[in-house]
Structure 1
Amino acid sequence: MRYLSYIVFCLFSFAMCTEQPKELLPELSYAESLMQRCPNSALVVLDSMEVPSPSDKFQYATWCLLITQARDKNYIKHTSDSLINIALAYFEKQDDPVWKASTLYYEGRVNQDMNNVEEATDFYLRARDVAKNTTDYRLLCLINTHLGTLYAYRNLPDLAFEAYKNAHTYSMQLKDSTFISNTYSALGRVSMLNNNLQEGLDNYKKAIEIAEQSGNLKSLTLAYGEISTVYQALSMLDSSMYYLKKSKKIEEKYNASALSQTYLGIGETYYYMGLSDSAYYYLEKALNTINPYTKQDAIHALYYLCRDLGKYEDAIKYNEQYWVYKDSIDNINRSSEIAKIQAKYEREKLLNINNGLENRILWGSIILLLIIFVLIFFYQRELLKKERIIKESRKQLQIRLNQLHENESIIHENENLIGVLSIQMEEYVGSQEHINNQMDEMERIRQNNATLQTQNEILQGDIKKYISSLKEKGEELKTYECLTTENTYLFERQRYLCSQLIKHINILDCLKSDPKYIEESQWPEIFESINIVYPNLIERLRKDFFLTDSDLLMCCLIKLQLNNSIIAELAAISPSSVTKRKQRLKERINQHLKTPLGVETSIDTYLWKY
């Protein structure tokens, strides 16, 4: 036993010294997996686990966030922001937008429960901005829904509508019938704020239709209860009663805890219908609840009913009860704190009882845990090794795909340069020296293409090797294929559009079709036209190389791919003088380049690419 303990201790020390990936504790990971479908179970797990040490900032911040989330989903009112502040202090500095947005959202929920409306609104807005960079549509829907509710209660219907509309859009992307139905109900609510009762009816009917199709009874009763208020506002009390009774039927069977609110609505509707006995019956039934808000509203309605019936003694009694419950609601936060302390005491008492039982099975559990730990250690080591190999393969694959894409682009561009140089050589009449220079440049470009083709063959071989090791055609290769096709199409489209644009700008078209000496007064028009075809070309040349207007004109003529003979006619100089002016222009540009153009690179090809 001592020997086994020594081995395990050594393995544990080795594991602690080895850099491990940042992973959640098993309890935290399990609680997170339960959060959406079983939030009550998630809360039990988080409450019963040993709280992570504050020195482990990631685990501790995650526990603070998850327990706040679990309490929120279990409708436990937040009374302190200490835990969520710890989570925010950590996740706000991290690069994960989902964790950051979630923390900001629950900061909003906590502050909303604490009646810090302005702070809650600010946190929701920050959470919304961060979450926009994610595809977590559930979180985006929740943020916008609560933001809309804050705006609605502050009588800002336009802002509320925008937030609810965003929530509805995200619910449609999420394709969750519960969220879709609830956001239609929210839109109905804001329509009521705008006194657009017909639009409110339409939205509630959509909410009801979706909830009925999906069988979501909670969303259905929400929509039934709220559409009844629209019919009350329209004085269509029979329709209001129809939906209240449908809600009552569902709640009596599946959700008895929500019946009191429905009884309250039925009682109020009977009151408006002038059916005092029925109103009294249901308002009395509404009192059978522990919800102080529902009880207060029911007592208030009974006060008015008794007053209208002339039962003044009963009216006085209900009025006194109303103020008692109002005081109770004002002190509800203090009562919640007392209940929270009591619950904590009971939990600690139960833990002390359990500790006695745990001591009896401690040694057997230790042996079992040691065996499990050894197995997990070796499994994790093999898993990490496999992950590193896959990660490195993907990295190398991406590097080669990027290089292959870059080479293909250069080859395509060089082929176009060769074509332009060939056309100019066929049209050119001038010195043999210039022709020889152009032939040398074409040969250099061809050799460059040959070198790139050789590199591409090697890269393609490497890519096949990495794809084979990954046993699948990765997303990286699909992306490369799309980029290559798209890049070629865009490059050709750009060349075509530029040539068509030049043909439709008279002054540029005439430079080639009917070359005549360019007056200095025409230069500004040429510069302006060139900027239309090649946006900001003149400004970039001035800024990068500090060229004169005469040099800029020469750059424009070169950019239009005019040969030396045509440029000579336009400038009223000889072809040999054009060659000399190009050489001087190249020298001026070289003064401002980190890597000057070599002898083998002409100013023409440089400016064509510029």
Structure 2
Amino acid sequence: MKVLYTALLALLLFPSCRRQSGDIDSFLHNAESLMNEHPEDALSIIRHIDRRKIYSSASEARYALLYSQALDKNYVDVTSDSLTAVAVNYYDRHGTKHERAMAHYYQGRVFSNAGNFDAAIRSYSLAEDAASGTDDYYLLGLINNAVGNLHYKQYGLDEAQTRYKKAAESFHCAGAFYNEAMNYVALGAVANLEGDNTQMETVYRKAIGIYEEIGAIGKILPLYEDLIVKTRLNTGDNVSGIKRDLRRYYAKYNKGEIPLQSLGVWQDIYLRAGELDSAKMCGKLILKHRKSFTAHKIAGCYVQLEQTELVCGNYKQAYNYARQYIAVMDSINQEKEASLVLELEQKYRNRILNQSYENLKQHNDQQRIITGLVLLFSLSLLIAGLLYLRKWRENAALKMREAEAEKESLSRACRELQEQLGTVATAWIRMTSRSGSSSTPSRSVWSSCATGWTRPRR
């Protein structure tokens, strides 16, 4: 009866579990469909899923992978691989090549955010190996771009250039032209560091052509400005021609207005042209809207203002700007130093964790070996016991059969003796009836008949 109640309870709970699992799978499907176009909505859906109601390993792995993807697409820099490890561990055993590639790619993103260069490269390599067996060129582009960024940060410019080229080719095959243009811009940055202005102009113009084709106009002006400053202004080209060309680009791409972010370029142009009032005006506008600029651009603005005041003979004001420049650079250096310390600490912790993981893995391997040997020994004892039991039962059965056969033989001999006794008795009766003797044989006769022989007649 207890077993029956348990079975009925399981039948009642099973549809509920299936329904909850189905609801979660539906939420995950909706999040996946929104991932590329509306990643913020995908992240919101996933964050409202109660992870405790996920009952299957497949759904758990899918949840972990989509959550990691949504966080990355929403520019949330995660440094713990607690989520991606779930996806990697599952898809390495049960997933398709594409799922394995995705899991390792986003684990590489986590390691990259944590500053663990070696672990990130390993994850990206595993992702690339898995993705190479698929036709997902977009994912291959992401992987190559990520590897290129890592090498760029480490000043491995040759490898970075190779990876950016592969990424651009993959994005072109995938039809992701915006990403393709971004990798041409990255190639231009590499060429700039190498001092190859010709190559920089070539790849920048490829990016500009793509931006014009897809309508990303806001990305074009910074490239033209960068080209003009790097290839013309710094090489002593005619300032009037540079100003004319820039205004032509502004008329084409920004309704003739100078963008706020371009004020630094014009401050430099005006200073080189000797138009000091205009240079001062650009500098003051930058400081007025300093929240819209990076710290490095603010520092550059102070340098330009210092040089402008020196040319004007305002040495006290130039000194003040120099002090403000030093203060900004000190702040930048302190932040950089603090970031470097945190990065080194993170790398040290990662190394310790990796060593602990290796030690734990080795210990677990030893434990598995010992457990395997114990199980093998126990299994051997069990098999030996079963074989002994089987042999004992066979021997017992054989002895039983022999006993039954002996019993049957004795029974048959007994029956034969009884038949012989009956025959002898009948013969004795007949003989006594003929001789007129008493019909009842004496005890000695009966005992002789019982032994199968008779005394000779007197």
What TM-score do the two structures reach when normalised by structure 1?
0.45
1:316 and 2:311 equivalent?
no
1:91 equivalent in structure 2: 91
Corresponding residue for residue 204 of structure 2:
204
> Does the 8 Å contact 1:284/1:298 carry over to 2?
no
Over 3 Å counting, the alpha-carbon distance change for 1:233 and 1:321 in structure 2 is closer
Contact residue 109 and residue 120 of structure 1 kept, 8 A: yes
For residue 161 of structure 2, what is the aligned residue in structure 1? Answer: 161
The one-character-per-residue Cα deviations of 1:315-351 (angstroms, maximum 9, x if unpaired) are 213322332354356667999xxxxxxxxxxxxxxxx
Find the aligned partners of 1:147 and 1:116 in 2 and give their Cα distance: 13
- Aligned-partner SS, 2:133: coil
2:66 aligned partner = 66
Q: How does 1:282-293 map to 2 (within 5 A)?
A: 282-287=282-287, 288=289, 290=291
SS in 2 for 1:135: coil
1:219-238 to 2 correspondence within 5 Å? Answer: 219-220=219-220, 223-224=223-224, 226-228=226-228, 230-231=230-231, 234-236=235-237
Percent identical residues: 26
Cα displacement string for residues 171-214 of structure 1 (whole angstroms, at most 9, x for unaligned residues): 22112321232232233233334432112211111111111121
What does 1:231-270 align with in structure 2 at a 5 Å threshold?
Answer: 231=231, 234-236=235-237, 239=242, 246=249, 261-268=261-268, 270=270
Measured in 1, the distance between the counterparts of 2:253 and 2:28 equals 36
Unaligned runs of 5+ in 2: 1-7, 343-458
Note if contact 1:148-1:163 (Cα within 8 Å) is conserved in structure 2. Answer: yes
For 1:65, what is the secondary structure of its paired residue?
A: helix
Q: Which stretches in structure 1 are left out of the alignment for 5+ residues?
A: 1-6, 336-610
Kept in 1, the 8 Å contact 2:268–2:304? The answer is no
Is contact 1:224–1:247 with CA below 8 Å preserved after alignment?
no
CA distance in 1, matches of 2:53, 2:340: 30
Question: What do residues 253-287 of structure 1 show as CA deviations (whole Å, max 9, x unaligned)?
Answer: 9xx9xx76544455455556665544444445445
In structure 2, how many angstroms separate the alpha carbons of the residues matched to 1:297 and 1:245? Answer: 28
User: In the alignment, what sits opposite 2:30?
Assistant: 30
Rounded to whole Å, the distance in 1 between the matches of 2:255 and 2:12 is 59
TM-score (norm 2): 0.59
Distance 1:140 1:248, change over 3 A: farther
Q: How does 1:345-494 map to 2 (within 5 A)?
A: none
Distance 1:44 1:54, change over 3 A: closer
1:281–1:81 Cα change, 3 Å: farther
Q: Give distance in 2, aligned partners of 1:47 and 1:122.
A: 29
Measure, in 1, the Cα distance between the counterparts of 2:53 and 2:21: 18
Deviation sequence 1:61-105 (CA, Å, 0-9, x none): 322222222222222233333322332222222331112111211
The residue identity in structure 2 corresponding to 1:202 is T
Query: In structure 1, what is the Cα distance between the partners aligned to 2:113 and 2:248?
Result: 32
What residue identity is the alignment partner of 2:323?
A: I
For the aligned residue pairs, the C-alpha RMSD in angstroms reads: 4.1
Is 1:188–1:204's contact at 8 Å kept on the other side of the alignment? yes
Q: Secondary structure at the match of 2:70?
A: helix
1:252: Cα distance to partner? 9.9
Residue number in structure 2 paired with 1:410: none
Number of equivalent positions: 322
Note if contact 2:267-2:304 (Cα within 8 Å) is conserved in structure 1.
Answer: no
Partners in 2 of 1:59 and 1:116 — Cα distance? Answer: 29
CA contact (8 A) 1:217 1:250 kept: yes
Q: Which residue of 2 aligns with 1:121?
A: 121
Counterpart code for 2:186: A
The SS at the match of 1:78 is coil
Shift of 1:140: 0.6
Structure 1 position 145 matched with structure 2 position 145: yes
The equivalent residue for 1:112 is 112
CA-to-aligned-CA distance 1:551-580 (integer Å, 9 cap, x gap): xxxxxxxxxxxxxxxxxxxxxxxxxxxxxx
1:320 to 1:24, Cα distance in 2 relative to 1, 3 A: same
1:13 correspondence with 2:20: no
Please give the alpha-carbon distance, in whole angstroms, between the structure 2 residues aligned to 1:204 and 1:143.
22
Q: Distance in 2 between matches of 1:248 and 1:90?
A: 55
CA 1:88–1:268: 2 relative to 1, 3 Å: farther
Greater shift, 63-72 or 136-145, is seen at 63-72
Q: CA deviation at 1:116?
A: 2.0
Q: Structure 1 residues 274 and 55, CA, compared in 2 at 3 Å: closer, same or farther?
A: farther
CA contact (8 A) 1:211 1:217 kept: yes
Moved more, 316-325 or 261-270: 261-270
CA distance in 2: counterparts of 1:71 and 1:225, whole angstroms: 33
**CA 1:330–1:14 in structure 2 vs 1: closer, same or farther (change >3 Å)?**
same
With over 3 angstroms needed to count, the CA separation of the structure-2 counterparts of 1:127 and 1:263, relative to structure 1, is: farther
Matches within 5 A, 1:551-566: none
2:429 corresponds to:
none
CA contact (8 A) 1:276 1:305 kept: no
